[in-house]
Structure formats: structure tokens, C-alpha cells
């Protein structure tokens, strides 16, 4: 009882201090209110409104050329990227050459459309890639100034497999420094904006991907997720994304490398505007491990057990989930029950209120060989010496640091970390057991992605723990499909996490197809 009261007081003090700092920030910041509400222009080319599967079919059937499709996306990127700053380096000339080669291959193919579909399912389709993946000839920096000039010499396996399937990368997209913040901002490439409101962020760490996809500058992309880095950008930008069961899609040739227990919690997966593209892209990204997920196995949603978890049971350090997100989750429950004839049971787990502490504890644990994760301050300095966080903070105050306030804060927080709490480890193990028993092999649960819709630029600095809703799922190792659920009254995307059991990814992916039909899926931000 006393410990609970103390935690409540600490949470209240934390929110009070952050609220005061936020007030000071608003007083002295250079935010431009006039930008609020401005969006990207509407889509004018109908080719941009087709899924990757539809585009691939039309290209194979010679109803449209790959060159025409790729050029349409290049034109769109040139239209919206000056507003979004999502693509940090393009490869347009190479992409057009590869598109011409794809068209030539189709002209010369004698085996028919079925042969092409089987061998090259994404032939001629444009693709965007998070800059933390190695893409041959492209920057490979994850936004760290000291890595400026580092260029990938080979492709990471998921990129290589997608290219081998015929996909054509158009460029690489922005991230926060070292992929460790919920807003894609760094001093190498700048800050990425949201296509639905240019005064808002795009999320992190796959924020550039989320932004360019949401702005219709790409149709399929790939991201990585260790605390919500696929799901938050998908939620904020109104698109679909899938955090795969860990260990299925390789993290080889990504930066930063996984150390300590990180390999157990990081997941890679597709980010798409259309739900029907999730499974085809995931199959390719998984390479030789694709069979582990049984993605071709038919799913009847009427035989799936559904649960809803409305919140984290009241973490005193976080603000409650906003009413509009509570209401949209209730609408999902009502539609599922009405359309499928299922009963969606509401459940709660008190351990979720310690979601941030669970994530933070397990991210700091050593791997099975006893090797701890590489310190964040070391990574920030590579390939040179580690940074000194307090010195960087002082430099930041006079505008001389190469690092963002978010990265400096994380490095300082890492310095002050205490030893793992046995109580937190015990709570995580109980939560793991209870949730795995809940979903089994035929269940899914709905869970908020974030306590609020996408915030304004830099505002996450004053509510830094909001990612707990996604981060705790990483430590639990459960697969999740992030699904858009339309827009709020301001025209800002809403969405939800659909979580299922390990290796049961096909269940949440099937729910995504249903929710797209029920709630409309992605919306063109320029037509609102």
C-alpha cells in the first residue's frame, strides 16, 4: 500500500515537472502556429491509389509499365518530400533503369504471367527502406553526425530478398539518432513531418517510412521495432504495419547492431498503405524462415477468440488514454461482435502499469553469454570516441552539440539506471505467462498504441514515457499488427494494436484485412 502511494506521488511529481518544462518550452520556442493543419497535396495520379499487389498484376499483364509506375512515385516524392523530409537520399536514376529492365523482362518472358508471379511477385513495384537497413550505395548512418559519409556496400538480407522478388527501392528514409526515439529528428538530415498535419511529427524510429507511405510517396516499405518503431509511425501516419514474431526476419546488416538482450526484443516487418500487401511483403522479408509463420494457412475470424485491454491499468507516470482513442477501441469491439458474431471479452492486467519499467529493465540485461548491451553514449560517438552526455548537454545549451536533446537525455538516463529490480522481473514473468495463456494459439487482443494521437514536433520530450504501450509488447515477444481506424475530428489518424501469440502472426494480419474494410484503412491526407 505504502509503495503504491509512493509511486503515485513520484508519478505526480514527474508529470508536474514535465508540465512546467513544457510550459516554458511553449513560451520561448519558435513554434509557428500557422503551419498547424497544413497537409500534403491530394493524390492526382490514380496509379498511386493501387496496392502493391494490384500494381504488380497490372505490370505483369502489360496494362501499365514499371517505368510509368516508378515515375509516378518519383513525381509524388518530389511533390511531397520538400514538405515532409521523409526520404533522405533517393536513387531515382537507378530506379528508372531497373524499371526499364523489369519491363524488358516481361516483354521477353515466354512462360506467362503465372511464372512471373511465382518467381518475381513484386516485379516493377516501388519500395522505400528505413535508413537503418543497409541498402547498397545508400547512406547507412541512422542520423548520427559522426557516421556522415558512411555508405552501405551491400544490401541487408530483407532488402536483397525484396529486390530479388522484383521490388525497386526509390530511396532511404529518416530515423532518429540510432533509432532510439519516438520522433524522427537528427542533426544530419533534420526532422520529418506528418502528412496529415505538417506541424506534427511522424513518429520513430521508422518515422520517415511512416511519413512517405502516409503521404502516398511509397506503397510498401520496411521498418524495425524495438519499442514501437514500426507501430507508432504507422499509427501516427494512418497506415498498416506488422511487428513480426522476433527471430523470424533477420536483423543482419542493420545499424545499430543488436547487443545484450536486444536481439530477443527487436522485430522487423512490413509497413504498407494497404493491408493486402502485408503478408506478401512479410513472406519475402522472412526469406528461409517464412514457413515458420504458416502465412498460407486460412484463418476464419469467427473461430478466433477476441479480447480487449482498454489501458495499462493506470500507470501514475503516464497520462490516461484520450477519450477519442478509448471510444474508437470500443467501436472496434462493437463491429467485431456485430459483424462476426463473436464475444469480445474485456480483460485487465495490473502488471501493465509497469510497462515502461519492464521494458527499461529488460533492455539493459546482458545476453545469454553475460555480455551487456553496448552503451548508448558509445554508439553516439562511433566510429570515434564515446560522447560525454553531460558535456553534450552543456554544448546543447549554446547550440554546439551534434546530438538532439532526446539522444542526450537517453544517454544521461542510461548513466543513472539502477540495478534490475527482482519485483519488476517477477511482474514481467507473470504478465508473460498470463498473456500467453490468454491468447494461446487462437486468440488476439486489442490494445492502445499510444495514449494520444500524433503530437506536435518536439512535444514528446515532455511526455517521454508514452511509448510504454508499445515497448512492453516487445519485451513480451508477441507479434502485433498496427491498424488504422480512420481520422479524428481534426483529420488526424487513429489506430490500434492487434496482438496475438508467438508465431501466430497470421491471426492479427487477418484482422487487419477485416479492419481495413470496416474502418476504411488509409485515407489520402490531401483529400480531407
pLDDT per residue as tens digits for the range 297-328: 999 999 999 999 999 999 999 999 999 999 99
Tell me the three state secondary structure of residue 346. strand
Tell me the three state secondary structure of residue 514. helix
Alpha-carbon separation of residue 436 from 402, 462, 478 (angstroms): 43, 33, 9
Q: Which whole number is the average pLDDT over 378-402?
A: 94
Q: Are residues 355 and 497 in the same domain?
A: yes
Q: Are residues 391 and 501 in the same domain?
A: no
Residue 92 lies in a domain: yes
Task: Please state, in angstroms and rounded to a whole number, the distance separating the CA atoms of residues 84 and 86.
Answer: 5
Q: Are residues 177 and 319 in the same domain?
A: yes
Residue 3 lies in a domain: no
Q: Which of 205, 206, 211, 267 is catalytic?
A: 205
Q: Are residues 294 and 398 in the same domain?
A: no
Cell of 413: 538516463
For residue 262, with 0-12 CB atoms within 10 Å meaning exposed, 13-18 middle and 19 or more buried, which class applies?
Answer: buried
Task: Give the per-residue pLDDT at 32.
Answer: 57
Residue 34 has pLDDT above 80, yes or no: no
Residues above pLDDT 70, as percent of the chain: 98
Residues 6+ apart with CB under 8 A from 514: 301, 339, 340
Residue 518 lies in a domain: yes
Q: Are residues 139 and 236 in the same domain?
A: yes
Q: Which of 388, 419, 450 is the last residue of a domain?
A: 419
Task: Give the per-residue pLDDT at 368.
Answer: 84
Task: Give the per-residue pLDDT at 516.
Answer: 98
Q: Which of 356, 388, 419 is the last residue of a domain?
A: 419
Residue 418 has pLDDT above 90, yes or no: no
Residues above pLDDT 90, as percent of the chain: 91
| CB contact burial 418-446 (16+ within 10 A = b; e otherwise) | eeeeeebeebbeebbeebbebbeeebbbb
Task: Give the per-residue pLDDT at 116.
Answer: 95
Task: Give the per-residue pLDDT at 472.
Answer: 98
- Is there a catalytic annotation at residue 323? no
Task: Please state, in angstroms and rounded to a whole number, the distance separating the CA atoms of residues 164 and 121.
Answer: 10
Residue 33 has pLDDT above 70, yes or no: no
Alpha-carbon separation of residue 240 from 163, 279, 509, 519 (angstroms): 21, 11, 10, 13
Asked if 139 and 172 touch (Cβ cutoff 8 Å), the reply is yes
Max Cα distance, the chain (Å)? 76
Residue 27 lies in a domain: no
Residue 16 lies in a domain: no
Question: Which CATH number fits the domain that encloses residue 449?
Answer: 3.90.1300.10
Q: Are residues 53 and 198 in the same domain?
A: yes
Report the number of distinct structural domains present in the chain.
Answer: 2
Query: Quick one: pLDDT band at residue 420, thresholds 50, 70, 90?
Result: confident
Task: Give the per-residue pLDDT at 227.
Answer: 97
Residue 369 has pLDDT above 90, yes or no: no
Residue pLDDT, tens place only, 47-75: 999 999 999 999 999 999 999 999 999 99
Task: Give the per-residue pLDDT at 110.
Answer: 86
Give the rounded distance of the alpha carbon of 56 from its chain centre.
24
DSSP letter at 225 equals E
Q: Which of 401, 419, 437 is the last residue of a domain?
A: 419
Task: Give the per-residue pLDDT at 258.
Answer: 87
Asked if 178 and 145 touch (Cβ cutoff 8 Å), the reply is no
Q: Which whole number is the average pLDDT over 134-161?
A: 98
Q: Are residues 89 and 170 in the same domain?
A: yes
Cell of 526: 490531401
Task: Please state, in angstroms and rounded to a whole number, the distance separating the CA atoms of residues 466 and 230.
Answer: 15
DSSP state string for 155-207? --HHHHHHHHTT-EEEEEE---GGG-SSS-EETTTEE-EETTEEEEE--SSSH
DSSP letter at 138 equals S
Asked if 504 and 264 touch (Cβ cutoff 8 Å), the reply is no
Residue 18 lies in a domain: no
Give the CB-side neighbour count of residue 238, counting CA atoms within 13 A: 23
Task: Please state, in angstroms and rounded to a whole number, the distance separating the CA atoms of residues 468 and 105.
Answer: 48
Q: Which of 184, 229, 401, 508 is catalytic?
A: 229
- Angle between helices 389-397 and 405-415 in degrees, nearest 10: 150
Residue pLDDT, tens place only, 464-484: 999 999 999 999 999 999 999
Task: Please state, in angstroms and rounded to a whole number, the distance separating the CA atoms of residues 102 and 100.
Answer: 5
- Is there a catalytic annotation at residue 330? no
Residues 6+ apart with CB under 8 A from 76: 43, 45, 48, 215, 216, 217
Cell of 167: 521490388
Residue 188 lies in a domain: yes
Among 156, 126, 152, 133, which Cα is nearest to 52's?
Answer: 126
Residue 158 has pLDDT above 70, yes or no: yes
Q: How many CB atoms within 10 Å of residue 257?
A: 12
Residue 1 has pLDDT above 60, yes or no: no
What's the whole-number average pLDDT of the chain? 96
Alpha-carbon separation of residue 406 from 182, 412, 489 (angstroms): 9, 10, 30
Residue 252 has pLDDT above 90, yes or no: yes
- Is there a catalytic annotation at residue 30? no
Residue 14 lies in a domain: no
Q: Are residues 299 and 414 in the same domain?
A: no
Query: Quick one: pLDDT band at residue 31, thresholds 50, 70, 90?
Result: low
Q: Are residues 213 and 243 in the same domain?
A: yes
Q: Are residues 412 and 454 in the same domain?
A: no
CA 288-293-297 angle, 5° bins = 120
What is the residue range of 278's domain?
Answer: 46-365+420-527
Q: Which of 51, 66, 128, 130 is catalytic?
A: 130
Query: Quick one: pLDDT band at residue 37, thresholds 50, 70, 90?
Result: confident
Residue pLDDT, tens place only, 292-303: 999 999 999 999
Reduced 3-state DSSP string for 289-306? HHHHHCCCCCCCHHHCEE
Q: Are residues 314 and 352 in the same domain?
A: yes
Residues 6+ apart with CB under 8 A from 73: 48, 126, 170, 217, 218, 219
For residue 126, with 0-12 CB atoms within 10 Å meaning exposed, 13-18 middle and 19 or more buried, which class applies?
Answer: buried
Tell me the three state secondary structure of residue 40. coil
Q: Are residues 479 and 462 in the same domain?
A: yes
Amino acid at each position: 500500500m505504502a509503495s503504491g502511494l509512493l509511486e503515485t506521488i513520484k508519478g505526480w511529481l514527474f508529470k508536474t515537472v514535465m508540465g512546467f518544462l513544457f510550459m516554458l518550452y511553449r513560451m520561448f520556442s519558435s513554434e509557428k502556429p500557422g503551419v498547424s493543419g497544413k497537409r500534403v497535396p491530394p493524390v492526382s495520379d490514380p496509379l498511386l491509389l493501387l496496392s502493391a499487389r494490384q500494381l504488380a498484376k497490372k505490370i505483369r499483364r502489360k496494362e501499365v509499365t514499371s517505368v510509368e509506375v516508378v515515375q509516378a512515385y518519383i513525381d509524388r516524392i518530389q511533390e511531397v518530400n520538400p514538405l515532409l523530409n521523409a526520404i533522405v537520399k533517393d536513387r531515382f536514376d537507378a530506379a528508372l533503369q531497373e524499371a526499364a529492365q523489369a519491363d524488358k523482362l516481361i516483354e521477353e518472358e515466354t512462360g506467362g504471367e503465372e511464372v512471373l508471379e511465382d518467381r518475381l511477385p513484386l516485379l516493377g513495384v516501388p519500395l522505400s527502406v528505413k535508413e537503418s537497413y543497409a541498402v547498397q550505395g545508400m547512406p547507412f548512418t541512422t542520423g548520427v553526425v559522426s557516421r556522415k559519409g558512411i555508405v552501405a556496400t551491400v544490401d541487408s538480407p530483407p532488402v536483397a530478398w525484396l529486390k530479388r522478388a522484383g521490388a525497386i527501392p526509390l530511396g532511404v528514409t529518416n530515423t532518429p539518432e540510432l533509432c532510439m526515439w519516438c520522433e524522427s529528428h537528427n542533426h544530419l538530415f533534420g526532422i520529418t513531418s506528418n502528412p496529415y498535419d505538417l506541424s506534427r511529427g511522424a513518429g520513430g524510429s521508422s518515422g520517415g517510412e511512416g511519413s512517405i507511405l502516409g503521404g502516398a510517396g511509397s506503397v510498401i516499405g520496411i521498418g524495425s521495432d524495438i519499442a514501437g518503431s514500426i507501430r507508432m509511425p504507422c499509427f501516427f501516419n494512418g497506415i498498416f504495419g506488422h511487428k513480426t514474431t522476433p527471430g523470424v526476419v533477420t536483423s543482419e546488416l542493420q545499424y545499430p547492431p543488436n547487443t545484450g538482450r536486444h536481439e530477443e526484443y527487436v522485430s522487423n516487418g512490413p509497413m504498407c498503405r494497404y493491408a493486402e500487401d502485408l503478408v506478401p511483403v512479410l513472406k519475402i522479408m522472412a526469406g528461409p524462415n517464412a514457413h515458420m509463420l504458416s502465412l498460407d494457412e486460412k484463418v476464419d475470424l469467427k473461430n478466433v477468440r477476441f479480447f480487449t485491454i482498454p489501458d495499462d491499468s493506470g500507470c501514475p507516470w503516464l497520462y490516461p488514454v484520450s477519450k477519442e482513442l478509448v471510444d474508437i477501441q470500443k467501436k472496434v469491439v462493437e463491429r467485431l461482435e456485430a459483424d462476426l458474431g463473436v464475444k469480445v471479452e474485456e480483460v485487465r492486467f495490473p502488471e501493465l502499469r509497469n510497462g515502461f519499467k519492464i521494458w527499461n529493465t529488460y533492455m539493459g540485461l546482458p545476453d545469454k553469454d553475460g555480455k551487456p548491451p553496448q552503451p548508448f553514449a558509445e554508439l553516439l560517438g562511433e566510429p570515434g570516441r564515446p560522447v560525454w552526455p553531460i558535456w553534450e548537454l552543456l554544448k546543447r545549451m549554446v547550440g554546439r552539440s551534434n546530438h538532439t536533446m532526446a539522444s542526450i537525455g537517453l544517454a544521461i538516463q542510461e548513466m543513472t539506471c539502477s540495478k534490475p529490480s527482482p519485483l519488476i522481473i517477477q511482474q514481467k514473468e507473470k504478465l508473460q505467462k498470463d498473456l500467453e495463456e490468454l491468447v494461446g494459439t487462437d486468440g488476439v487482443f486489442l490494445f492502445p498504441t499510444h495514449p494520444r494521437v500524433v503530437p506536435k514536433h518536439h512535444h514528446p520530450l515532455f511526455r517521454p514515457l508514452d511509448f510504454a504501450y508499445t515497448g512492453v509488447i516487445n519485451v513480451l515477444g508477441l507479434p502485433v499488427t498496427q491498424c488504422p481506424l480512420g481520422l479524428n475530428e481534426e483529420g488526424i489518424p487513429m489506430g490500434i494494436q492487434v496482438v496475438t501469440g508467438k508465431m501466430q502472426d497470421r491471426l492479427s494480419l487477418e484482422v487487419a484485412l477485416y479492419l481495413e474494410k470496416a474502418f476504411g484503412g488509409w485515407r489520402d491526407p490531401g483529400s480531407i
